[in-house]
Structure 1
């Protein structure tokens, strides 16, 4: 029981360290753009998948469902960002009587 708690605390501490690294990279290196931050975010996803979800001990069906969930998350986030990327403000003429 204590080994599980120690592992979970270690994984949570790693996630907090990665969060601090992501925030530090955002403010310290603004020229990195989204590429450097995406690497840290992908590392956080891997830590969550293998640290909290323990995917390495599961079978093929669990891996398939986890991959499908990531696929749908990418699709939904991509479609959600398309709204902001394609929105255009058109000037309108206000008729004053």
Structure 2
């Protein structure tokens, strides 16, 4: 990453901190396919909200992406797997609650 971009990113982080704005940002070196920087600003709960929104938007865009190359296909499958895993966990929690209610005679 060139120096101008690095300086602009650091300026953005400082401005977000001054303005009390949460920031979750990562950049990737396209030649090495590695993160070149990860920048955070704001409180942990604010960062969590920003990260969740970023992840949901990424997931939506990735699943709608037309490319079916091996890399894109693997990403889509991982996102679908993560989605079904959380759905499975939610269903198990609901089942536990229903069983407890049933055993207490509340159903």
Q: TM-score, normalised by structure 1?
A: 0.43
Specify which structure has the higher proportion of strand.
2
Specify which structure has the higher proportion of helix.
1
Structure possessing the higher relative contact order (Cα contacts under 8 Å, 6 or more residues apart): 1
